[in-house]
Chain A
Amino acid sequence: MDKEKTKKADTDGSTEAKPTAEVKTSAKKAPAKTGAKIPVKKAPAKSAAEGDVKNAPAKTGGKAPVKKAPAKKAPAEADESASKLVISSSPHFQTTENIPRIMYTVVTALIPAMAVSVYLFGLRVLMLMAVCVVVCLVSEYAMQKARKKSVRVHDGSAAITGILLALMLPPGFPIYGAVLGSLFSIVIGKMLFGGLGYNIFNPALIGRAFLQATYPVLITTWVDPGAVINAVDAISAATPLAMMKFGGEATGLGALFFGNTAGSLGETSAIAILIGGLYLRYKGYINWKLPLGYLGSIAFFAAIFWIYDSSTYASPFFHVMAGGAMLGAWFMVTDMVTTPVTPCGQWIFAIGAGFLTIIIRLFGGLPEGVMYSILFMNAFVPLINRHTKPKVFGELKAKKT
C-alpha cells in the first residue's frame, strides 16, 4: 500500500513540474488520484492554474501564496525541478526565498521566546529544547530514508516543530516525555501524511495533544519562574488560566506581559513572542490577517462575556495574553501548511479558532483551549479553502439550464 502511494505521488509530482501546458491536465487529475494532497507550488501559483481553478482542488490551487512561494522550488520536487524550465504567464516574481530561508527566519523569530524561557526557568529548558529539536530532526531523517524519499531535513521545518513543541511544555517536563512527543509529532503528525506540505494538522500541536492525553499529570504540573527546577521536588504552581478558571483569581497584566508567571516554557511572556511575531511580519512571512483575526476574535468574544459579567469572566486583555494565545497566534495559526490560503478563508479560520479558544477556556473542562481550537480548525482547512476560492477575473456564474 505504502509503496504504491509513494509512487503515485512521485509521478504526479514530476508532472507538476513540467511546463504549464501539461500542468493543466495534471491539475485535473490530481484530485482524483491523491485527494488534493499535492502541494503545487508553481511560481506564481494563481496565474498558472488560472484555467483550472474550477477543477483544481482549492488546496492545490494556491497552496503557496505568491509572496511566500519559493520561486522555483516546490518542496515535493525541489531537487528535480531546479533544472527544469518553468513556463507561466505573468506576473513573474524574482525572489531568493526558499523553504530553508523561511524556516530559519522563523527560528530566529522564536529566539526571544526561547531566551526568556531560559531566563525564567533555568538552564534545564535548554536541554528540553535541544532534545525536542534533535529527536524531530533525527526522526524526520529516518522516516524520509525509510520511505525512500529524498532527504530534506535541512529545510528546518522539523527544527521548528521541535522548538514549538518544547515551548509548549511545562518547564519540569521529563526528557523521555519530550522524546515521545517529538517522535509522535514528526512520525504520526507529519511523515505519515507525506511530509512537509501534506500534513493536515500542525505537527507540534499534534505532539502536544498526544502528550496531553498520555501524561495528563506531568503536562499540567507547573512551577513558578525562578523556582529550582528539579522534577522530583518542584513546588507545583497554577497557571494564570487555571487560577482564573478554578479559583477566580486574575493574574496581573504586567506579569502576563513580561512572563513572570507559571506556565509552559515559551508561553508565559507575551512581549517576547510579540517581538518574534512582529519580526516575522516585518520580513513578510506571515499574513497579518491570521494573528490579528485570532487575537481579535479572542478579545472580542472574551469582551462579550466580560461586559456581561465582569466579576466571573476575565478581561479580554487577560485572555489575549494568558496561556498559549500569543504563541498560537504568531507561530501556529500562521503555519503555512495547515491554514487556509484564501484571504476570506484565513479570516474564517482565525476567527473560528479564537471563538473556540474562548468557549473551551470558559466552559470546557480544561483551562486552556488554544491547542484544541487550532487543531480543530486545521481539520476544516480543506473545506474552508474549497468554499472561499476567489473568483477568477471575468468569471461568470454558470447558468443552470
Chain B
Amino acid sequence: MNKSVKMIINLTVLGALAGIILAFVFKMADPLIQINKEKELKAAIFTVLPEAKDYRTLTKELKDEEVTVYVGLNEKGEPIGVSFKADGNGFQGNVGIMVGLGLDYLKLKGIEVLDQVETPGLGDRIREQGFKSQFKGVEVHPKIEYIKFRKPEKPNQIQAITGATISSNAVVVNINTAVKKVTELFTERELRDAASLPGGKE
C-alpha cells in the first residue's frame, strides 16, 4: 500500500472513531452537566435572595456582551428582587460575585462569592460570612464604599478586611460596576414583568 494513502486512512479512521466516541459521550454527559450548572446557579441565587423560591431569566445585549439577570420570585410568584453576576479583577485573578438587589434598586439583599483565587487566609476571607453579611441592606447609591479600621458610619459603607484591602476593594468595585450596568440597562417595570414569563426548565 502506498505510504501516503496509509497515512491518510490512518488519520481519517482515527479521527472518525474519535468523533463518534466523543459525540456519544457528550450526548450522555451534557444533560448531567447542564443540571449541575443549573443547581449551582439556583443555589447562588437563592443565597443572595433569601426569600426567593423560583427565578426567571432576563437577557439583554449591551454592546458586545450579554447581560443576564435573574429575577427572584417568592412562593406566590411575586418578584422580590434581582440577582446577577459581578466579575472583575481581584488581587490575583477574577473575583466573581453573585449579587442580590432589591427591585427598587436601593439596597442589596445579599452577596455570595462564587469564584475567587485570592490569597488563602487573607484575601479569601471575603468568603467569610462576617464579611458577606455586611452587604445585606447596604445602600447602593451613590455607590458602596469601604472603610478601614472603623465601624461603618453611613448606610452605604462596609468595613474592609484588615490586611486584605485589595480583595475587599475588588468586591466593592465589582458590585458597584455590575449594579450600575444592571440599573441602567433594566427598568424596574421590565423586572416585574419578568415574573409572568414562563418558568425555566426544571
Contacts and interface: CB of A to CB of B under 8 A. Distances in A.
Interface of A: 216-217, 220-221, 236, 238, 246-247, 365
B interface bracket (residues with beta carbon within 8 Å of A): 10 to 19
Contact of B121 (A217, A236, A246): A217
A246 B149 CA distance: 11
A323 to B, nearest CB: 16
Nearest to B165: A246
Q: Which of B119, B162, B166 has the most CB of A within 10 A?
A: B162
B162 A236 contact: yes
Interface in B149-172: 149, 162-163, 165-166
A217 B163 contact: yes
B91 A365 contact: yes
B181 interface: no
Contact of A247 (B121, B148, B162, B166): B148
Contacts of A221: 162-163
A236 B91 CA distance: 22
A24 B85 CA distance: 70
B122 A217 contact: yes
A8 to B, nearest CB: 41
Interface in B96-150: 119, 121-122, 148-149
Interface of B: 91, 119, 121-122, 148-149, 162-163, 165-166
Contact of A220 (B148, B163, B166): B163
Nearest to A247: B148
A238 B165 CA distance: 12
B122 to A, nearest CB: 5
Nearest to B149: A238
Contacts of B148: 238, 246-247
Contacts of B149: 236, 238
A216 B125 CA distance: 12
Contacts of B119: 216
A343 B162 CA distance: 43
Q: Per DSSP, are chain B's interface residues mostly helix, strand or loop, or mixed?
A: loop
A365 B162 CA distance: 14
Contacts of A220: 163
A365 B163 contact: no
Q: Would you list the 5 A-B pairs with minimal beta carbon distance, nearest first?
A: A220-B163, A216-B122, A246-B165, A365-B166, A365-B91
A278 to B, nearest CB: 35
Q: Per DSSP, are chain A's interface residues mostly helix, strand or loop, or mixed?
A: loop
A148 to B, nearest CB: 39
A216 B121 contact: yes
A178 B122 CA distance: 20
A236 B160 CA distance: 14
Nearest to B168: A246
A247 B165 CA distance: 10
A220 B123 CA distance: 13
Contact of A216 (B163, B165, B166): B163
Contacts of A246: 148, 165
A359 to B, nearest CB: 16
Contacts of B91: 365
Contacts of B166: 365
A128 B166 CA distance: 30
A236 B119 CA distance: 20
19 contacts: A216-B119, A216-B121, A216-B122, A216-B163, A217-B121, A217-B122, A217-B163, A220-B163, A221-B162, A221-B163, A236-B149, A236-B162, A238-B148, A238-B149, A246-B148, A246-B165, A247-B148, A365-B91, A365-B166
A221 B122 CA distance: 12
B114 to A, nearest CB: 22
A238 B147 CA distance: 13
Given A238-B148, A246-B165, 8 more contacts: A216-B119, A216-B121, A216-B163, A217-B163, A221-B163, A238-B149, A246-B148, A365-B91
A220 B148 CA distance: 15
Nearest to A246: B165
B74 to A, nearest CB: 40
A269 to B, nearest CB: 23
Nearest to B125: A217
Nearest to A213: B119
A297 B109 CA distance: 50
A217 B122 CA distance: 6
A236 B163 CA distance: 10
A238 B163 CA distance: 9
Contacts of A365: 91, 166
B170 to A, nearest CB: 11
A216 to B, nearest CB: 5
A238 B149 CA distance: 9
A236 B161 CA distance: 12
Contacts of A236: 149, 162
A209 to B, nearest CB: 14
A392 B12 CA distance: 69
Contacts of A216: 119, 121-122, 163
B151 to A, nearest CB: 14
A365 B119 CA distance: 12
Contacts of B122: 216-217
A221 B119 CA distance: 16
